[in-house]
Amino acid sequence: MPSVISTDVLIVGAGVAGLWLNARLRRQGFSTVLVENATLGGGQSVKSQGIIHGGAKYALHGALTGASEAIADMPRRWREALAGSGELDLSGVRVLSEAHYLWSPGTLAGNLTSFFASKAVRGRVDQVKGDDLPPALQDRRFKGKVYRLAELVVDVPSVIERLAELGGDGLLAGQHIEPLLEGNKLVGLRVDGREIRAQRIVLSAGGGTAALLTDLGLSKPAMQKRPLHMIIAKGPSLKPLYAHCLGGGTKPRITVTTHPAADGNWVWYMGGDIAEADGVARTPDEQIATAQKELAQLLPWIDMSQTQWATLRVDRAEPLQSGLTRPDNAFVFEEGRLMVGWPTKLALAPDFADRVINSLERDGIRPIATEPLPELPKPALGVPAWEQLLP
């Protein structure tokens, strides 16, 4: 019979939200256990594009309402952590690009006028030309306008690996989770038969949260899944590009980020409007053909003849919103010892941790568990989709 564990905070779900929170709590002296039933970061986090948004994209359609939105501060918080001087020491994590770019292929679209006037981007957007253009756009045939946004792009697998290191001995590979009740109050969880008692229990299980709540006999909070059909291209002629390409509408027509593959090639990972509703309805072959056509039109100087293609269907998991809109703050629901939430963006992992830590402070929860943890089976790191789909 495995031993009983007492910890301060028990977290379920080791994506960026659970891992970031876990590392912050440990730094503050709390004991923690973080349970994962698959791989570390392998849910949405390692499948994300790694853009540390400051909200510029959302200013395009007026959804960013100003100072109240936590997202505007996220690039600074990540930069400080990456420099080793912030709330966590993420020095050593790979930054893929110091900036993300906005790229308007033709003449300046009308919607950009209000965009540049908006408070969210004022003073944070510079036009770039010539040698300062992203490498993939440096061609004499390139006609569009490009703006540099103060938003960085991180290599998510290396973020997850570092956060896992900061998680120390508290990471637990566990499959079967049941509630641990006293009276009818939740006081912990039983993980693969082992009792884990905690002052607070946090569920950060991404798309798995609804099923986990059901297993625990709970029905709140409600969540939504927003399906995406992403496109992956890998080949020797691809050069780094981190950009939202604007179309006529309020959403980027295509968002390209570039990631290192294990074989030394670059991978273009493409989302944005192309991966949403119409993209979700397309078959993988149709989705690839659509992307090929878009790229041939936008970047005709790039030779795609040796490029390999794949698509990835993945859901974004969020609290239920009216009309499947996008939330711009992390979300945490509380009931008794239980907290349940979603960062809603990789970039917002610090905001998710703040919300949990603020709740602990408000309730006077302090580190009390002192027993060393037994040796726990550790979950493996999540692997990028291109290594699985285009090995």
Ligand X SMILES: Cc1cc2nc3c(=O)[nH]c(=O)nc-3n(C[C@H](O)[C@H](O)[C@H](O)COP(=O)(O)OP(=O)(O)OC[C@H]3O[C@@H](n4cnc5c(N)ncnc54)[C@H](O)[C@@H]3O)c2cc1C
Q: Residue 90 or 296: which CB sits closer to ligand X?
A: 90
Q: Which is nearer to ligand X, 105 or 382 (CB)?
A: 382
Name which of 134, 141, 102 is nearest 298 in CA terms. Answer: 141
Minimum CB separation of residue 95 from ligand X in Å reads 14
Separation of alpha carbons 214 and 216, rounded Å: 5
Q: How far is the CB of 129 from ligand X (least distance, A)?
A: 26
The residue among 114 and 388 lying less far from ligand X, judged by its C-beta, is: 388
| Pick 17 or 357: Cβ nearer ligand X | 17
Q: How far is the CB of 372 from ligand X (least distance, A)?
A: 23
Q: Which residue intervals of 2-73 are DSSP H helices?
A: 16-27, 56-59
Query: Which segments of the chain are extended strands (E)?
Result: 5-12, 32-36, 95-97, 100-104, 125-128, 145-149, 153-154, 171-173, 177-182, 185-191, 194-203, 223-235, 243-246, 252-260, 266-271, 308-319, 331-335, 338-342
Instruction: Work out how close the CB of 191 gets to ligand X at its nearest, in angstroms, rounded to a whole number.
Output: 9
Q: Which residues bind ligand X (CB under 6 A)?
A: 12-18, 35-38, 41-45, 47-51, 53, 177, 204-208, 212, 228, 230, 271, 314, 316, 342-347
The span from the CA of 216 to the CA of 12, in Å, is 12
Contact 125, 147 (CB under 8 A): yes
Least CB distance to ligand X at residue 348 (A)? 7
In terms of CB distance, is 199 or 204 closer to ligand X? 204
User: Please, what is the minimum distance in Å from the beta carbon of residue 389 to ligand X?
Assistant: 13
Cβ closest to ligand X, residue 235 vs residue 279:
279
The sign of the dihedral angle between the CA atoms of 159, 339, 190, 177 is negative
